[in-house]
């Protein structure tokens, strides 16, 4: 028993030494002396209680840490592991309390909290084979094969350049994801335009153009038939067109924000107008696609043209005054660094923002769910992650042209210029969202950590047409991809749009299920007459080029 107690103490002592070093580093920051003393006293008291409890139980700790990383029976059955997990959680609480106590401006505190949380998550005992009793038992049961398989999967992930979050061999774009029938009817160096095959005998005369985010692939809106937003829109009788952005390579590394507006959205609008014979079309933008769409419509409005009969924005920023956790990554120095390395000011010429870098950034916003969970499962336990279409899409990253990305970074996240009418010019025109006269349907997700719902709500103050705001449950992706047949989650509505988003929520009514039917009912009112569905895709000037989903979406970063 003494050996057991000693072996338990040594790694615990090591963990204590690490947290002691971190506490000392944090203490050198501006923390009030009385607060620091109180935290140190509290820490020593709780650490002593843990140790005494472990000793008095004869090394058989009954502690069961309330954390899913340590929820398996192996942790509770192994007294050393249970003790280490408890010490780790105490250290984590103490470090976060220290970070919270630093006297600094809010952005500095947010960065400090983020850095401390990253360190805490990375040093969890569950992430190390020597401390993880689940992985150890599996290694014993398999005669070491789980470790060998974990090493093979680690080498495979190194070769492919990213951590596997799902069994990617199960999926293929165009075979079992992105399968809604359609045709590519136009392409240029920036995007392909897909027209989807009607699923009804009649369609609304006014078509729907969807502008997806360019920072990832459009088929998040067309994963499987039973959760495809695109298919749902087609089933509602709409003639649907979707932009499929090109995965940027060196040949288009020089492209700018203006190019994405002029040769991207505005060009797509022109094709849809000509193909449908309609001067105005219904439009939808998702995430950064909403920012790009609204900018394009503002450019056209400055030229005296109202090309959109309606605008739908899904989890989109127009006002970047509160960008949530992403704000910690952006300041003048970081933006200048991007401009000097991949932007127009780069001494070696424009470059690319690599899609894998973006994907890694978003994953580390939720590291336990999207990073360490797979490190433990894939490498320590030798498990193959189960197939999941959304995580396959999440790993299918896209590159962006450096100049385009740098303009976006400076004028939105850093300076929030788009909210000031006329402050910036795009395609030679002053941008003023207030000139867009179309009615708007604005959707946000309540637990969105990418676009906080209050920031999406701020679009109601910038757009001057008739507006409807809907708040859905869950996060940035799961809140949007919520098909009615699954009858999951809920959403909130209310007709009034007070200036304060919390006042809106206080007066909102919760509805069970998906928000999609609410949007479909709203969009039907803007579709115009119902006419016979077109027999063939495209137009004499825009004949089909290839079947959907097209070549562009299949290009890997």
Catalytic residue positions, numbered:
287
Our separate counts of H helices and E strands in the chain read: 21, 17
User: Is residue 539 classed as helix, strand or coil in its secondary structure?
Assistant: strand
Task: Give the span between the Cα atoms of 308 and 281, in whole angstroms.
Answer: 5
Helices (H), 236-388: 257-259, 267-276, 288-302, 332-341, 355-363, 367, 373-374
CA distance 160 to 148: 19
C-alpha radius of gyration, the chain, whole number: 26
Kindly list the distances between the CA atom of residue 267 and the CA atoms of 246, 260, 527, 551, in Å, as whole numbers in the listed order: 14, 9, 21, 19
- Number of alpha carbons in the 13 Å side-chain half-sphere of residue 64: 8
Token match 């105490």: residue? Answer: 90
Question: Would you give the end-to-end CA distance of the chain in angstroms?
Answer: 55
Place of tokens 């850095």: 115
Q: How far is 252 from 529, CA to CA, in rounded Å?
A: 41
DSSP string, 510-523: EEES-SHHHHHHHH
Partners of 491 in the β-ladder: 472, 511
**Secondary structure (H, E, C), 140-185:** HHCCCHHHHHHHHHHHHHHHHCCCCCCCHHHCCECCCECCCCEEEE
Q: What angle do CA 107, 113, 116 make, to 5 degrees?
A: 140
Distance set, CA 91 to CA 14, 95, 119, 367 (Å): 12, 6, 11, 18
- Tokens linked to 416: 């929030």
Helix runs in 389-500, H state only: 389-395, 402-408, 453-457, 459-462
CA dist 197 and 184 (Å) reads: 11
Q: For the stretch 202-228, what's the b/e string if a residue is b when 16 or more beta carbons lie within 10 angstroms of its beta carbon?
A: ebbebbbbbbbbbbbbbbbbbbbeebb
Residue 423 CA to residue 416 CA, distance in Å, equals: 10
Ordered strands of the 440-445 beta sheet: 509-512, 490-493, 467-472, 440-445, 308-314, 281-286, 208-211, 240-245, 191-196, 182-187, 546-547
Nearest C-alpha neighbor of 346 from the set 403, 269, 298, 390: 403
């Amino acid at each position: 028993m003494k050996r057991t107690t000693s072996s338990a103490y040594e790694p615990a002592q090591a963990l204590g030494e690490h947290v002691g070093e971190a506490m000392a580093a944090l203490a050198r920051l501006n923390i009030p002396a009385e607060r620091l003393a109180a935290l140190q006293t509290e820490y020593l008291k709780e650490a002593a209680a843990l140790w005494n409890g472990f000793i008095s139980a004869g090394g058989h700790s009954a502690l069961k840490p309330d954390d899913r990383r340590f929820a398996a029976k192996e942790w509770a059955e192994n007294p050393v592991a249970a003790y280490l997990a408890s010490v780790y959680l105490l250290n984590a609480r103490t470090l976060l309390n220290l970070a919270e106590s630093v006297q600094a401006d809010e952005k500095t505190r947010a960065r400090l909290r983020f850095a401390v949380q990253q360190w805490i998550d990375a040093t969890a005992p569950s992430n190390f084979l020597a401390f993880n009793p689940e992985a150890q038992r599996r290694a014993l049961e398999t005669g070491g094969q789980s470790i060998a398989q974990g090493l093979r999967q680690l080498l495979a992930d190194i070769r492919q350049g990213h951590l596997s979050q799902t069994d990617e061999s199960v999926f293929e774009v165009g075979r079992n994801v992105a399968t809604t029938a359609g045709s590519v009817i136009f392409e240029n160096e920036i995007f392909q335009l897909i027209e989807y095959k009607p699923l009804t005998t009649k369609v609304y005369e006014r078509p729907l153009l969807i502008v997806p985010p360019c920072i990832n692939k459009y088929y998040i809106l067309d994963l499987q038939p039973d959760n495809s937003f695109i298919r749902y829109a087609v089933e509602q009788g709409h003639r649907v067109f979707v932009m499929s952005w090109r995965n940027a390579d060196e040949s288009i590394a020089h492209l700018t924000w203006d190019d994405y507006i002029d040769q991207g959205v505005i060009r797509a609008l022109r094709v849809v107008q000509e193909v449908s014979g309609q001067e105005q079309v219904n439009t939808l933008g998702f995430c950064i696609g909403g920012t790009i769409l609204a900018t394009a419509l503002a450019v056209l409005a400055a030229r005296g043209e109202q090309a959109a009969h309606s605008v739908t924005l899904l989890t989109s920023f127009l006002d970047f005054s509160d960008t949530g956790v992403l704000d910690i990554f952006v300041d003048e120095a970081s933006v200048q660094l991007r401009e000097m390395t991949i932007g127009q000011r780069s001494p070696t010429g424009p470059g690319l923002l690599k899609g894998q870098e973006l994907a890694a950034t978003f994953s580390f916003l939720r590291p336990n769910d999207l990073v360490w969970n797979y490190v433990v499962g894939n490498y320590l336990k030798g498990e193959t992650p189960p197939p999941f279409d959304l995580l396959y899409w999440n790993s299918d990253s896209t590159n962006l042209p450096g100049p385009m990305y740098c303009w976006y970074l400076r004028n939105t996240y850093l300076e929030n210029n788009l909210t000031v009418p006329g402050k910036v010019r795009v395609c030679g025109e002053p941008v003023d969202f207030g000139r867009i006269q179309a009615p708007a349907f604005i959707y946000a997700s309540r637990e969105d950590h990418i676009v906080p719902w209050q920031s999406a709500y701020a679009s109601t103050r910038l757009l001057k047409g008739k507006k409807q705001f809907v708040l859905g449950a869950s996060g940035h992706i799961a809140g949007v991809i919520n098909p009615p047949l699954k009858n999951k989650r809920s959403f909130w509505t209310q007709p009034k749009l007070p200036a304060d988003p919390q006042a809106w929520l206080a007066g909102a009514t919760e509805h069970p299920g998906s928000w999609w039917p609410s949007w479909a009912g709203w969009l039907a009112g803007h579709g115009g007459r119902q006419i016979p569905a077109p027999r063939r895709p495209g137009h004499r000037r825009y004949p089909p080029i290839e079947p959907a989903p097209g070549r562009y979406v299949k290009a890997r970063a």
